[in-house]
Structure 1
Amino acid sequence: MANGDMKSVASLLLFLNFCMYAIILGIGGWAMNRAINYGFVIGPDFSLPAHFSPIYFPMGNAATGFFVTFALLAGVVGAASAIVGVNHLRTWTADSLPSAASAGAIAWTLTLLAMGFACKEIARGPRNSCLRTMEAFLLILSATQLFYIAAIHGVGSITRRG
């Protein structure tokens, strides 16, 4: 592909990924807020319940706490990698590629980790529609983030400044 073709593919994937990471952050923030507000109630004497867990979520199942926590981490790192990716798309040189590629790879690995917890949550049983939406977005992001990393590594599409 020509230089402009890979750049346009990468910019489309970058915009798509940023929007999906923002949606994951919104839904994950809602789930975390709900867990904080409606989780365990600490008594007036500050005594914790007998089976207290800091990763307890009132919706979903036993894997929901891990899933939401790592989805939020993946969302924050993914949004940050999109910001670095915008800088790379603006310059599109070999000098800006390493930072964009490493940020994208870290976001992709955290997305895969969150997707693994999503698979565990699916296997464990019932969950609400918001959690199912987050699972779907993470599944899609695990592929599109990889395609974005491949697009910015396009062979012959990056010029060396010299």
Structure 2
Amino acid sequence: MKTPALLAVLVAMTLTGCVTAPHALNAPYPPKAEQSAAQPAPQQVCKTGSLMTQSVLYFGLSRHDAAPVSAAEWQTFVDKDVTPRFKDGLSVFDAKGQWLRSEGVVIKENSKALMLIHADTQEAQKKLGEIRDIYKKRFKQDSVMQVDNPACVDF
């Protein structure tokens, strides 16, 4: 009878997508750089616009032993340090940050999120690094988080 054979093929085809590679079960999260580099990312194709990079930088406004970064100080930083490096445009958002100190204490602070759309180049990454370093030094910050994602952009 053909029905049991057909049923067996359909079940096998259905279960094929359920198999997880053994190494994926014990993979660390987030993946280490050497593991990420070993597996090339799939090429993204844009249906509309061009493939660019969306970088979001997160700046805490609290300071150790000083008043928080003021609105005027923030705007001066954007005008004099960010804009000359990314003249094509940017967006700034108010944010509420939260992070865990090494002592196990959760710190909450007002923050700014700066979103930049740019070509995925070493030059752009260098400029982002400069912005982060300037902010950390000027406002005595431990870190400025950077998140990069591919983005299809059309104007």
- TM-score (normalizing by structure 2): 0.28
In terms of fraction of residues, the more helix-rich structure is: 1
In terms of fraction of residues, the more strand-rich structure is: 2
